[in-house]
């Protein structure tokens, strides 16, 4: 596909990820390679234009309108590999320049130099847009006179030569500039807009150990693709036209994404908060319909992230799988849990736990099926404790010591842990020995309320930042409890009960953790919920992988097409 064919399919290509910014760069590349507009053999060649530019400059010097300076066009840098059209020429950029000025900064210690009426440009003002019409800082007349800054007339190319190398703008108002900028005054026989286009495509390398910069001799010696003057003007007109089209495509793309976001948000809202008159059966039917069409509704990674939260919410509200009345209700299950907890406490010598006081307004509001009940986490567990409150004495080797950083939502990650001595290990583990099937909950730090099942036989001691929850796995599946703890409702409970100045400094009190009101389904339904969540989360994983692959493939295809369009015929 050549450049002409590519531009004909412009709108279709804009659908690829990051296509519009890439297409903008592609348009500029075409422009300075002579591939954007047709050449006219009857126009004055660039070689002749260059002679006229040099003659005009000599005339202005003779007339006293320009100063006689060191030759601006005596060195031509390395030529790029691409071949120019027949009537173009590679010339040193300085050959198109009449003059150039640097700048400076008035003393910051003298308040009379600042907050005046003269716009003063620095790196932070240049390159944000094509035209420089205003500046962040302003100086006074005294600041201009008493510094090395210069007042630049409108119509110059302002190039950053240090601290932001290569950024460029055209000043439409008179501005003073600082020492990191260079104001370039071009020949009247040049289009400043074409030069601006070129500098938007040129990659400056610069030199310097700490801050990259480019010397004025290097700037003026850049190999510059010079077209006939009439073609420069046609190029500028075409670039403006195509950039306007890019703006339209970008706006249309953003509107499509907003509509998709609204559709996804509305669907998730209906799933999470169904209308008051919606029957449970209708809620489940809509959830099944939505989840069946999950691939069509998830077009971006953030959609999948929101869908994961919705799946968890549906799971712990009883709207993800069917209820089976013959399975009984959870009242009898809670009785069995209580009996099992008594046995386990006695067997393991665990003392009774103090129940915290419920904070007003933290009671969960979500409705649950009639076969479910809500129970305090303390009623569902035979031990809820945290790790040692002593400051650990870490050793180079020894026994594993874990903290909140080893637990993320649904993931126990013990690999990166520290060590303590054998004596401290046994001391820290007294009355708190984690076992496979226990639940770990973070209670201190930035990730308060993140939970995972202990799926390892690793023997370790742990810090106060972790909460250990032991449950009778005969009647309560730890994976289900972790579903609730990581669900939006569970995380909200953790946040509401956190004490301290912020999530990074606060802590989740054990007494409050014990008051968590857990929605308890019958045991068989717990199994179905966990299995369904695993299935849907695997689907989300697949969708994320597909989105990533699709985006990579689309980006590669776009790059290949653009590269082919720019390649020599």
Summarised one tens digit per residue, pLDDT across range 423-453 is 999 999 988 999 999 999 999 877 899 999 9
Do the bridges between strand 399-402 and strand 461-462 make them parallel or antiparallel, or are there none, so unpaired?
parallel
H-helix or E-strand spanning residue 384: strand 383-386
Residue with tokens 């026989």: 189
Quick one: CA dihedral 550, 553, 556, 562, positive or negative?
A: negative
pLDDT for residue 295: 63
pLDDT for residue 502: 46
pTM, whole model, 2 decimals? Answer: 0.61
Cα separation of the two ends of the chain: 11
pLDDT for residue 108 is more than 50: yes
Contact 457, 427 (CB under 8 A): no
pLDDT for residue 146: 94
Contact 46, 96 (CB under 8 A): no
Tokens of 513: 């953790």
Quote the CA–CA distance of 264 and 271 in Å, as a whole number.
Answer: 11
* Mean pLDDT, range 224-231, rounded to an integer: 96
Instruction: Classify 534 as helix, strand or coil.
Output: helix
Quote the CA–CA distance of 249 and 23 in Å, as a whole number.
Answer: 11
pLDDT for residue 553: 65
Cβ neighbours, 10 Å, residue 426: 12
pLDDT top residue among 465 and 163: 465
Lowest mean pLDDT segment, chosen from 87-101, 264-278, 393-407: 264-278
* Mean pLDDT, range 112-118, rounded to an integer: 96
pLDDT for residue 524 is more than 50: yes
pLDDT for residue 358: 47
pLDDT for residue 472 is more than 60: yes
Which of 97-111, 301-315, 554-568 tops mean pLDDT? 97-111
Quote the CA–CA distance of 523 and 328 in Å, as a whole number.
Answer: 10
pLDDT top residue among 262 and 128: 128
pLDDT top residue among 362 and 64: 64
DSSP-derived letter for residue 182 is E
* Mean pLDDT, range 79-86, rounded to an integer: 82
Contacts (Cβ under 8 Å, ≥6 apart) of 405: 416, 445
pLDDT for residue 486: 96
Share of the chain above pLDDT 90, in %: 54
- Reported as a pLDDT band with limits 50, 70 and 90, residue 239 is very high
pLDDT top residue among 32 and 203: 32
pLDDT for residue 258: 79
Lowest mean pLDDT segment, chosen from 20-29, 109-118, 283-292: 283-292
* Mean pLDDT, range 376-397, rounded to an integer: 94
Quote the CA–CA distance of 35 and 3 in Å, as a whole number.
Answer: 7
pLDDT for residue 367: 82
The pLDDT tens digits of the residues spanning 133-172 come to 999 999 999 999 999 999 999 999 999 998 878 899 999 9
Contact 485, 467 (CB under 8 A): no
Contacts (Cβ under 8 Å, ≥6 apart) of 487: 309, 312, 313, 315, 316
H-helix or E-strand spanning residue 290: helix 280-292
Assign residue 328 a region (left: φ > 0; alpha: ψ between -120 and 50; beta: otherwise).
left
3-state secondary structure 160-207: ECECCCCCEEEECCCEEECCCEEEEEECCCCCHHHHHHHHHHCCCCCE
Contact 394, 374 (CB under 8 A): no
Quote the CA–CA distance of 145 and 503 in Å, as a whole number.
Answer: 53
- Reported as a pLDDT band with limits 50, 70 and 90, residue 565 is low
pLDDT for residue 504 is more than 50: no
């Amino acid at each position: 596909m050549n450049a002409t064919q590519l531009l004909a399919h412009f709108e279709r290509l804009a659908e690829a990820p990051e296509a519009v910014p890439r297409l903008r760069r592609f348009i500029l590349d075409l422009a300075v390679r002579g591939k954007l507009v047709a050449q006219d053999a009857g126009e004055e060649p660039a070689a002749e234009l260059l002679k006229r530019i040099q003659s005009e400059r000599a005339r202005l010097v003779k007339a006293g309108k320009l100063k006689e300076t060191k030759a601006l066009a005596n060195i031509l840098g390395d030529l790029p590999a691409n071949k120019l059209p027949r009537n173009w020429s590679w010339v040193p950029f300085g050959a198109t320049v009449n003059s150039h000025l640097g700048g400076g900064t008035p003393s910051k210690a003298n308040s009379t130099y600042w907050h005046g009426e003269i716009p003063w440009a620095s790196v932070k003002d240049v390159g944000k847009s094509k035209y420089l019409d205003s500046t962040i800082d302003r100086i006074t007349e005294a600041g201009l006179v008493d510094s090395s800054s210069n007042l630049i007339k409108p119509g110059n190319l302002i190039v950053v030569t240090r601290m932001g190398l290569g950024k460029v703008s055209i000043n439409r108002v008179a501005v003073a500039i600082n020492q990191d900028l260079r104001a370039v005054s071009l020949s009247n026989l040049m289009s400043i807009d074409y030069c601006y286009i070129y500098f938007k495509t040129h990659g400056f390398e610069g030199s310097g150990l700490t801050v990259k910069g480019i010397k004025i001799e290097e700037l003026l010696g850049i190999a510059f693709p010079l077209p006939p003057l009439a073609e420069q003007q046609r190029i500028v007109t075409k670039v403006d036209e195509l950039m306007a089209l890019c703006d339209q495509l970008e706006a249309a793309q953003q509107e499509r994404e907003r509509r998709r976001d609204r559709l996804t948000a509305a669907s998730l809202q209906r799933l999470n908060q169904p209308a008051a008159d919606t029957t449970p059966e209708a809620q489940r039917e809509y959830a099944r319909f939505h989840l069946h069409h999950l691939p069509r509704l998830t077009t971006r990674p953030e959609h999948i992230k929101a869908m994961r939260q919705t799946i968890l919410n549906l799971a712990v509200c009883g709207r993800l799988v069917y209820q089976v009345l013959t399975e009984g209700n959870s009242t009898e299950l809670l009785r069995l849990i209580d009996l099992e907890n008594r046995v386990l406490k006695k067997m393991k010598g665990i003392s009774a736990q103090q129940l915290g006081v419920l904070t007003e307004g933290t009671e969960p509001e979500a409705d649950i099926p009639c076969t479910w009940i809500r129970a305090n986490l303390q009623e569902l567990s035979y031990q809820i404790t945290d790790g040692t409150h002593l400051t650990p004495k870490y050793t180079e080797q020894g026994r594993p010591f874990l903290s909140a950083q080893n637990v993320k939502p649904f993931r126990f990650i013990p690999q990166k842990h520290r060590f303590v001595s054998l004596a401290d290990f046994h001391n820290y583990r007294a009355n708190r020995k984690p076992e496979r099937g226990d639940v770990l909950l973070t209670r201190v730090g930035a990730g308060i309320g993140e939970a995972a099942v202990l799926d390892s036989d690793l023997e370790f001691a742990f810090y106060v930042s972790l909460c250990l929850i032991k449950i009778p796995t005969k009647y309560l599946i730890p994976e289900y409890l972790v579903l609730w703890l990581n669900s939006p409702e569970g995380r909200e409970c953790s946040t509401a009960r956190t004490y301290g100045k912020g999530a990074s400094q606060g802590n989740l009190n054990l007494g409050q953790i014990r008051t968590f009101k857990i929605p308890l389904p019958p045991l068989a339904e717990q199994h179905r919920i966990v299995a369904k969540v695993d299935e849907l989360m695997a689907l989300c994983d697949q969708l994320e992988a597909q989105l990533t692959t699709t985006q990579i493939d689309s980006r590669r295809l776009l790059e290949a097409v653009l590269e082919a369009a720019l390649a020599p015929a």
